[in-house]
């Protein structure tokens, strides 16, 4: 007997993928790579604090969306997850091409983030937890969140926990 994947269960694959991605980035030197190739100031401490905060938000939204049947829980979860994972895959792909150098995190983003984010999106629509228009809106909001985090944290505001010596 085949077991159907449910949105409320499979969405937990996104925090697991994120937990795999963080060490790949960190151990391959993502903060130093960003400083060298993207002229963004980032240190290891800021990287770890930022990812801890983002993981806590993802886990909270995952718990809510897995227990609730509300459309808003699915929408907010998909918004955050798309910015944190799907659009992060796009970020790693684009920065690899821009720098002509492996962006630490590209492997897990390609092998995990992209396919899992797509499948969670499909399951969310199939389950009726989010409609196609809501999904487009969630992914658009997620893109905006990702762009804001990149712009504000790495280049514009030079947040103290991301920017050494500022």
Tell whether 165 is covered by a domain: no
Tell whether 164 is covered by a domain: no
Tell whether 162 is covered by a domain: no
In whole angstroms, give the CA distance from residue 13 to residue 70. 20
Tell whether 139 is covered by a domain: yes
Q: pLDDT (tens digit, 9 = 90+) per residue, 53-98?
A: 999 999 999 999 999 999 999 999 999 999 999 999 999 999 999 9
Tell whether 92 is covered by a domain: yes
Tell whether 2 is covered by a domain: no
Q: pLDDT (tens digit, 9 = 90+) per residue, 107-132?
A: 999 999 999 999 999 999 999 999 99
3-state secondary structure of 53: helix
Chain-centre distance for alpha carbon 40:
19
Q: How many CA atoms lie within 13 A of 11 on its CB side?
A: 30
pLDDT band at 155 (very low <50, low <70, confident <90, very high): low
C-beta contacts of 106-109 below 8 A and 24+ residues apart: 107/24, 108/17, 108/20, 108/21, 108/24, 109/21, 109/85
| Residues 6 or more apart whose Cβ sits within 8 Å of residue 114 | 86, 89
Tell whether 126 is covered by a domain: yes
Tell whether 166 is covered by a domain: no
Q: Are 117 and 77 in contact (CB under 8 A)?
A: no
Q: Are 103 and 96 in contact (CB under 8 A)?
A: yes
In whole angstroms, give the CA distance from residue 32 to residue 19. 20
Distance spanning both ends of the chain, measured CA to CA: 59
Q: What is the pLDDT of residue 38?
A: 84
Q: What would the two tokens of residue 150 be? A: 């990149």
Percentage, residues of the chain above pLDDT 90: 76
Provide the domain count of the chain.
Answer: 1
**Measured on CA atoms in the order 82, 85, 86, 92, is the torsion positive or negative?**
positive
Q: pLDDT (tens digit, 9 = 90+) per residue, 23-53?
A: 999 999 999 998 899 888 788 988 899 899 9
Structural domain containing residue 117 = 7-156
Chain-centre distance for alpha carbon 166:
26
């Amino acid at each position: 007997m085949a077991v159907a994947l449910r949105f409320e269960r499979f969405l937990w694959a996104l925090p697991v993928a994120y937990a795999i991605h963080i060490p790949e980035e960190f151990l391959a030197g993502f903060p130093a790579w960003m400083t060298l190739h993207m002229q963004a100031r980032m240190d290891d401490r800021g990287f770890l604090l930022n990812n801890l905060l983002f993981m806590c938000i993802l886990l909270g939204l995952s718990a809510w969306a897995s227990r609730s049947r509300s459309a808003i829980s699915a929408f907010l979860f998909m918004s955050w997850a798309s910015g944190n994972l799907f659009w992060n895959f796009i970020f790693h792909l684009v920065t690899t091409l821009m720098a002509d150098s492996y962006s630490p995190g590209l492997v897990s983003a390609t092998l995990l983030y992209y396919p899992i984010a797509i499948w969670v999106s499909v399951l969310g629509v199939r389950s009726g937890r989010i409609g196609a228009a809501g999904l487009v809106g969630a992914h658009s909001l997620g893109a905006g969140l990702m762009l804001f985090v990149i712009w504000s944290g790495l280049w514009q505001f030079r947040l103290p926990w991301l920017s050494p010596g500022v």
